[in-house]
Amino acid sequence: MSADPHPWAADLAELHAQVWTRFTRGVRDRRAAARHPTLATVTPEGLPQARTVVLRAAERGAGSLKFHTDIHSAKVTELRATPFAALHVWDSAAHLQIRMEGEVTILTGEDVAAIWARVPASARLAYGSTPAPGQPIADGLSYTKTPDPTAFCVLRLRIVAMDIVHLGTDHRRARFTRTDNWAGQWLAP
Amino acid sequence: MSADPHPWAADLAELHAQVWTRFTRGVRDRRAAARHPTLATVTPEGLPQARTVVLRAAERGAGSLKFHTDIHSAKVTELRATPFAALHVWDSAAHLQIRMEGEVTILTGEDVAAIWARVPASARLAYGSTPAPGQPIADGLSYTKTPDPTAFCVLRLRIVAMDIVHLGTDHRRARFTRTDNWAGQWLAP
């Protein structure tokens, strides 16, 4: 009988710590699963939307995550109407489904000038598009990208709850909430 | 100069066909990216949720996808209140982000008896849990799974729009809608 590869999954505190280990790795490692979560939002019409985002910061102490985006993208419009998001990661190496729920703050201008200053020139091309992202164009390449600091914004997700599923030999599921100081509660999977 | 590995990305009809190729593969191949999409829904309180689902059917003619779930899961409650879902796949091999929007029908009982009959005995354990999925339990393994055909339901997503992004040497984005008979429209990415 081989040793359990994920002993942390059987303990609430260790499971919670493992989630932050994965997110911290996602900030630094392009190949980590948590590098590219799926961010779900609600449109002004009340319908769901989901898209890939790139994880830029993970702060366990504050319980928050950060993402960069173009202020003219649809997700910013959606988050202005409903400033809540769900975030999803399936980490196949850890057999872990990570689901986050939280409040989103949209940071712009002076509040993000220091972050913009550290964005590499090549990456700045992702912020500033003519026409704006999502606008119809005649041909697939009928657009230009020009770095525009006024198009750059940071989404800060303040996590209020996490729903974690570990699909090991046994399946375990737990919910961690900010109001419970992340102590955690086992749930039926 | 090497050949473009994804020549289909430059043509609307071929791009649309490629999406269905990926979904068809997802039904049959456990390792395909489209095997495990992320399904986003809206709670009765109007907040977003997202979780992994397993793709069970892809019907290009009908423009629909199917998933199996436990009728007592939170996503069924959410879909009863707001019968719309967004579906997300990041297919890294194809450099393709696939986003679907559609209406969801929840099929149960007699309507799914023929599908249930073909679900292998081991897989039936996923439908029927005491307590129900998401209920608090004292310990991580304080639950039992017993196959229950009345807990089995099929979610049918009738796609109304697709938003597709190809991240190749050039980035291309297109939107395909049912009302446009899937002809497609290029968008600024």
Q: If pLDDT is split at 50, 70 and 90, which confidence band does B3 have?
A: confident
Whether the per-residue pLDDT at B1 is higher than 90: the answer is no
Q: If pLDDT is split at 50, 70 and 90, which confidence band does A4 have?
A: confident
* pLDDT of amino acid B2: 65
Cross-chain Cβ contact B40/A46 below 8 Å: no
The average confidence (pLDDT) of chain B is: 97
| Distant-in-sequence, close-in-space partners of A65: CB < 8 Å, separation ≥ 6 | A23, A55, A57, A58, A59, A87, A100, A102, A156, A157, A159
* pLDDT of amino acid B4: 84
Q: Which residues of A touch B129 (CB under 8 A)?
A: 188-189
Cross-chain Cβ contact B187/A137 below 8 Å: yes
> B97-112: string of b/e by CB count within 10 Å (b at 16+)?
bbbbbbebebeeeeeb
Whether the per-residue pLDDT at B34 is higher than 80: the answer is yes
Cross-chain Cβ contact B10/A140 below 8 Å: yes
ipTM of model = 0.96
**pLDDT, mean of residues B163-185:** 97
Can you state the percent helix, strand and coil of chain A, rounding each to 5? Answer: 25, 40, 35
The 10s digit of each residue's pLDDT in A23-52 is 999 999 999 999 999 999 999 999 999 999
Cross-chain Cβ contact A52/B97 below 8 Å: yes
End-to-end CA distance of chain B: 25
Two tokens, residue A138: 């005649």
Two tokens, residue A110: 């002076």
The 10s digit of each residue's pLDDT in A65-117 is 999 999 999 999 999 999 999 999 999 999 999 999 999 999 999 999 999 99
The 10s digit of each residue's pLDDT in B99-136 is 999 999 999 999 999 999 999 999 999 999 999 999 99
How many interface pairs between A and B have CB atoms less than 8 angstroms apart? 148
Two tokens, residue B7: 């020549």
* Choice among A1-5, A34-38, B68-72 with the minimum mean pLDDT: A1-5
**Minimum-distance CB partner of A141 among B52, B82, B170:** B170
* pLDDT of amino acid A2: 65
User: A6 with A19: CB under 8 angstroms?
Assistant: no
d(C-alpha A51, C-alpha B40), whole Å: 10
**Residue B53: other Cβ atoms inside 10 A:** 21
* pLDDT of amino acid B173: 98
The 10s digit of each residue's pLDDT in A115-150 is 999 999 999 999 999 999 999 999 999 999 999 999
**Residue A24: other Cβ atoms inside 10 A:** 17
**Minimum-distance CB partner of B90 among A52, A134, A136:** A52
Positions of E strands within chain A: 38-42, 48-52, 55-59, 64-70, 84-91, 96-107, 129-130, 144-145, 152-167, 171-177, 185-187
Cross-chain Cβ contact B188/A137 below 8 Å: yes
Q: Which residues of A touch B167 (CB under 8 A)?
A: none
* pLDDT of amino acid B99: 98
* pLDDT of amino acid A28: 97
**pLDDT, mean of residues B16-37:** 98
Question: Tokens 């729009």 map to which residue?
Answer: B161
